[in-house]
């Protein structure tokens, strides 16, 4: 069996609502957004800046409506208002249809970008 590391979830153009270097690590994400793309509490995620070059890896935990906040060391790479992409991957030996959503400035889902199928 060969496992591939495949995209499973993506929040596209999320807006950072806060950056707190005093908090103990991670990214806090609106619980509804996490559920919409299937992110789990404590899941390993990649965070990529849209408008500059910062890229980090951390873990996600749920928060209140509209919140996407970076904590601890991650807070030094982003500031409120930055557009980011949050992505999670999974190991699978079968095709995975990633759940992808586009967000507006208030971190509301404006469009489902989930592909209809994945061809192997």
Domain range annotation of the chain: 4-106
Residue 68 pairs in a beta bridge with 29
Residue 117 annotated in active site: no
Catalytic residue among 18, 26, 62, 117: 26
Catalytic residue among 18, 23, 54, 59: 59
Residue 54 annotated in active site: no
Whole-model pTM: value is 0.95
pLDDT cut 90: percent of the chain above it: 92
Q: Which residues contact 8 (CB under 8 A, 6 or more apart)?
A: 38, 88, 89, 90, 96, 98, 99
Q: Measured between alpha carbons, how far apart are the two ends of the chain, in Å?
A: 15
**Could you tell me the fold of the domain covering 4-106?**
Barwin-like endoglucanases (2.40.40)
* Radius of gyration in angstroms for the set of CA atoms belonging to the chain, rounded to a whole number: 14
> Rounded CA gap, 37 and 29, in Å?
12
**pLDDT band per the 50, 70, 90 thresholds, residue 7:** very high
């Amino acid at each position: 069996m060969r496992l591939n590391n495949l995209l499973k979830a993506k929040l596209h153009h999320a807006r950072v609502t806060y950056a707190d270097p005093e908090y103990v690590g991670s990214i806090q994400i609106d619980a509804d957004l996490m559920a919409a793309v299937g992110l789990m509490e404590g899941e390993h995620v990649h965070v990529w800046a849209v408008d500059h070059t910062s890229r980090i890896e951390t873990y996600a935990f749920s928060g209140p409506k509209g919140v996407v906040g970076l904590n601890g060391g991650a807070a030094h790479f982003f500031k409120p208002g930055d557009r980011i992409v949050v992505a999670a991957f999974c190991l699978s030996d079968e095709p995975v249809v990633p759940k992808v959503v586009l967000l507006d400035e208030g971190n509301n889902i404006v469009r489902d970008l989930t592909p209809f199928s994945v061809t192997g």
